[in-house]
């Protein structure tokens, strides 16, 4: 099966304008918005940034999505879940203050901002069909009870994932702390990284199937750092900005971003800027030599979360 992926570059082009204007036009092209029923509660799952990190998604991206959802008659809210490690993001109340400090205030984004997965949201246990490592996962009830789900992901590299974008945002990002711990501690036949990836895909599968036809995946491939937004320090991006990618298939949208990053030149002075030509070279394996990118996409395809084959429709 071949999935459609909408894409626009990060440059200014006539007559489309710059990334802001292009993003609005890409969302307008998505038939997904035209199937929304008035009053549907739509969770926009995203990362609000770790304190000390400066390359998390700008709030304006969320505001554009919220505007499009409200225009379609939906009632959106922005949402992320609490984390395992020592951080203000470990507790819902302090994470909410982080979100506000980073610009994700209801008055700025146009909708409520909710932190899930804390003490007031122990999650709902869901069985994973045809699981790889986790037969059951606990996901945020706040996210599970929404009528629709939008993954608004910042595409980055990651020491455990060749491409950390919508699949990780949905799979691990929608889980409560107990399941996040199980994902990080997963042990299978593969290496520890591939085991974590497979366990995360178990989490992604239940959300993707729950929101079948009601899920939209958006990857903002700008400031593509070598680490995810949970890192409290910020490195240079590994490649120049690659634009915006949108699909109803989170596997296809992540694979498209990955392919663009492979073909892109390294960002000067970055961790991927090694001697020699870097176009056509896997940046994840350049930065993390133990990364097994080809095996990762095999695991993704076997997980049944979507298709790695896609048709690109450019703006």
Chain segment 173-211, per-residue pLDDT in tens? 999 999 999 999 898 867 778 899 999 999 999 999 999
User: Has residue 276 got a pLDDT over 90?
Assistant: no
pLDDT value at residue 192: 75
When pLDDT is cut at 50, 70 and 90, the band that residue 24 belongs to is: very high
Task: List domains and CATH numbers for the chain.
Answer: 3-314 (3.40.50)
More confident residue, 290 or 43: 43
Question: Which helix (DSSP H) or strand (DSSP E) does residue 99 occupy?
Answer: helix 92-101
Query: What phi and psi values does residue 255 have, to the nearest 5 degrees?
Result: -65, -40
Q: Is the dihedral of CA 99, 245, 76, 106 positive or negative?
A: positive
The residue-averaged pLDDT of 212-222 equals: 98
Contact by Cβ (8 Å): 251, 72: no
The residue-averaged pLDDT of 83-107 equals: 97
Q: What is the pTM of this model?
A: 0.97
**247 bridge partner residues:** 217
Q: What is the mean pLDDT of the chain?
A: 95
More confident residue, 286 or 277: 286
- Residue 235: other Cβ atoms inside 10 A: 17
Share of the chain above pLDDT 90, in %: 91
DSSP per residue, 249-285: -HHHHHHHHHHHHHHSPPPTTSTT--SS--TTS-HHH
Q: From 197, 214, 157, 227, select the one nearest 301 (Cα to Cα).
A: 197
pLDDT value at residue 277: 85
More confident residue, 221 or 192: 221
Q: How many residues does the chain have?
A: 315
Please, how many CA atoms are within 13 Å of residue 142, restricted to the half-sphere of its CB?
26
When pLDDT is cut at 50, 70 and 90, the band that residue 143 belongs to is: very high
pLDDT value at residue 274: 84
The residue-averaged pLDDT of 88-116 equals: 97
pLDDT value at residue 236: 97
Alpha carbons 128 and 182: distance in angstroms, whole number: 14
Share of the chain above pLDDT 70, in %: 99
pLDDT value at residue 175: 97
Contact by Cβ (8 Å): 150, 170: no
Across 10-19, 75-84, 129-138, 270-279, least confident range: 270-279
The residue-averaged pLDDT of 277-299 equals: 92
User: Has residue 275 got a pLDDT over 90?
Assistant: no
Instruction: List, for residues 79-90, the tens digit of each pLDDT value.
Output: 999 999 999 999
C-alpha angle 173-58-27 in degrees, rounded to nearest 5: 80
Peptide bond into 171 cis (omega under 30): no
The residue-averaged pLDDT of 58-78 equals: 98
Question: Which residue in the block uniquely carries the two structure tokens 């008055």?
Answer: 107
Alpha carbons 175 and 193: distance in angstroms, whole number: 18
User: Has residue 29 got a pLDDT over 80?
Assistant: yes
């Amino acid at each position: 099966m071949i999935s459609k992926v909408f894409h626009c570059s990060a440059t200014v082009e006539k007559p489309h304008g710059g990334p802001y204007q292009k993003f609005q036009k890409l969302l307008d092209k998505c038939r997904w918005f035209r199937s929304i029923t008035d009053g549907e509660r739509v969770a926009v799952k995203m990362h609000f940034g770790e304190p000390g990190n400066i390359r998390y998604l700008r709030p304006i991206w969320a505001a554009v999505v919220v505007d499009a959802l409200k225009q379609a008659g939906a009632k959106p809210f922005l949402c992320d879940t609490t984390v395992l490690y020592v951080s203000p993001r470990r507790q819902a109340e302090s994470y909410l203050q982080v979100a506000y400090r980073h610009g994700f205030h209801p008055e700025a984004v146009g909708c409520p901002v909710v932190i899930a997965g804390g003490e007031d949201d122990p999650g709902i246990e869901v069985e994973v069909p045809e699981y790889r490592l986790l037969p059951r996962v606990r996901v945020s009830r706040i996210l599970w009870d929404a009528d629709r789900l939008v993954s608004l992901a910042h595409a980055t590299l990651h020491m455990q994932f060749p491409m950390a974008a919508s699949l990780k945002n949905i799979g691990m990002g929608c889980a409560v702390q107990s399941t996040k711990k199980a994902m990080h501690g997963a042990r299978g036949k593969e290496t520890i990284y591939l085991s974590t990836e497979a366990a995360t895909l178990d989490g992604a599968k239940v959300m993707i199937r729950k929101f079948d036809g009601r899920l939209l995946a958006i990857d903002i491939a700008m400031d593509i750092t070598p680490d995810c937004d949970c890192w409290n320090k910020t490195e240079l991006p590994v490649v120049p900005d690659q634009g915006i990618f949108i699909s109803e298939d989170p596997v296809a949208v992540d694979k498209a971003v990955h392919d663009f990053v492979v073909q892109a030149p390294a960002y000067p002075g970055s961790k991927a800027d090694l001697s020699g030509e870097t176009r056509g070279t896997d940046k994840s394996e350049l930065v993390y030599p133990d990364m097994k990118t080809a095996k990762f996409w095999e695991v993704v395809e076997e997980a049944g979360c979507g298709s790695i084959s896609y048709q690109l429709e450019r703006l």
